[in-house]
Structure 1
């Protein structure tokens, strides 16, 4: 009886690695209409987040074709401009600097088989630049107090080493 149990156990252990070779069920394919969230990028471009309406998952396909058309004050027009996938993550697209400063009505569309449309009013602004880095405050005398601390520490270390050497020399002389 124990040998039967042992053989059954060994057979079960042999089957377990073979289960890893079993074909996986296909993943649920995304598709269908898109939910497009459109916003200005803070300068003269726009960003779009694309997700499937069916389940809210971000669009993973890098060849999705999103097209921007914009109308500005005074009848200015931009587009059609194809949006590129952005580096921010899956489902994010960006236009780059395509608008001039001012108020724009922007429409982004996606054709079949994944139709989608978003419209928003965007206030395009001149891109801001970072302020120049501030220089570190300097000592008006030009020396800086840190140099005095380094000089003092060096003198103190030198005195400790000299005392150790003198003490060692005296100990050797006394031992003779």
Structure 2
């Protein structure tokens, strides 16, 4: 009986040691669904999920290659996970503007490969900030708006109240001193 329990414990220990080595690819049949797209400029984004729809919860080093008209090529580039979410990968600006054929592959033990056409565009700059024109009219004279006159008025009133409060405190102190004498 003791030998049976000991053999069962050893067998269970071996299974527990071997199963993690089989890895998460075994749990999801090792297939990945890769969604590849341009990022709107000269980079590529990749969303990786298991083929059964579950999120990718392990680190997978995807490999990207790209070719364009005229024989231009990029890669192979190993992608690292981005901070945007689980299973999300991004390259940053790696392509020149134009039409590209992009292939992303998943390494073993995963099986996954996808090829898509992507149009890379030059990155657009942010629109120039235009300063608002509120204090001056078209003819150049100063325009009075509530925000342009109330601040000095409020500051003046607060200053007068502060001086009056200090004067009242000094007057009361002098009066008390005179009453004691």
More helix by share: 2
Unaligned 5+ residue runs, structure 2?
Answer: 1-12, 137-141, 143-147
Select the residue among 73, 78, 84 that pairs with 1:82.
78
Query: TM-score scaled to structure 1, two decimals?
Result: 0.65
- Give me the whole-angstrom Cα distance separating, in 2, the residues matched to 1:98 and 1:76: 12
Please say if 1:98 is aligned against 2:94. yes
Select the residue among 138, 154, 157 that pairs with 2:159.
154
1:163 equivalent in structure 2: 168
8 Å contact kept, 1:30–1:52: no
How far the C-alpha of 1:150 sits from its partner, in A, is: 2.5
- Give me the whole-angstrom Cα distance separating, in 2, the residues matched to 1:164 and 1:40: 72
**What secondary structure is seen at the aligned counterpart in 1 of 2:36?**
strand
- Give me the whole-angstrom Cα distance separating, in 2, the residues matched to 1:60 and 1:113: 12
- Give me the whole-angstrom Cα distance separating, in 2, the residues matched to 1:156 and 1:135: 36
How far the C-alpha of 1:95 sits from its partner, in A, is: 1.8
1:30 equivalent in structure 2: 24
Q: Map 1:36-47; keep pairs closer than 5 Å.
A: 36-47=34-45
**What secondary structure is seen at the aligned counterpart in 2 of 1:30?**
helix
- Give me the whole-angstrom Cα distance separating, in 2, the residues matched to 1:121 and 1:155: 72
RMSD of aligned Cα (Å):
3.3
The number of residue pairs the alignment matches comes to 149
- Give me the whole-angstrom Cα distance separating, in 1, the residues matched to 2:167 and 2:133: 37
Query: TM-score scaled to structure 2, two decimals?
Result: 0.64
C-alpha distance 71-53 of structure 1, shift in aligned 2 (>3 A): same
How far the C-alpha of 1:123 sits from its partner, in A, is: 2.3
| CA deviation profile, 1:101-159 (whole Å, cap 9, x unmatched) | 12323221113210102233322122233345566878667xx6535532431222111
